[in-house]
């Protein structure tokens, strides 16, 4: 499998993090992914969906691996 790591920089300002999460989701959409990224304000951590029924994981390291074979430009 060909993989690429995409990481989002976290800021102390939660409003900036919300904007970054939205931009991350838009990038993933352009790459052909259906995953969505958002900010968990209670922990100030980014989260990403794992499936279509609302499953998600917390990105404790602010990034995730993506399969290049399933992404399309």
In a domain, 33, yes or no: yes
In a domain, 58, yes or no: yes
In a domain, 25, yes or no: yes
Domain that holds residue 14: 3-67
Is the overall model pTM greater than 0.85, yes or no?
no
Helix (H) or strand (E) holding 30: helix 14-30
In a domain, 45, yes or no: yes
In a domain, 73, yes or no: no
Helix (H) or strand (E) holding 7: strand 3-7
State the pLDDT at residue 69.
83
In a domain, 72, yes or no: no
Block means of pLDDT (10 residues each) for the chain, 73 residues, are 89 95 93 90 90 83 85 62
How many separate domains does the chain show?
1
Rounded CA separation 28/22 (Å):
10
State the pLDDT at residue 73.
46
């Amino acid at each position: 499998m060909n993989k690429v790591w995409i990481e989002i920089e976290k800021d102390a300002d939660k409003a900036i993090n919300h904007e970054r999460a939205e931009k991350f989701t838009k990038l993933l959409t352009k790459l052909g992914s259906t995953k969505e990224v958002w900010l968990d304000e209670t922990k100030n951590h980014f989260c990403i969906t794992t499936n279509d029924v609302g499953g998600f994981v917390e990105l404790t390291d602010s990034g995730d691996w993506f399969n290049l074979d399933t992404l399309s430009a």
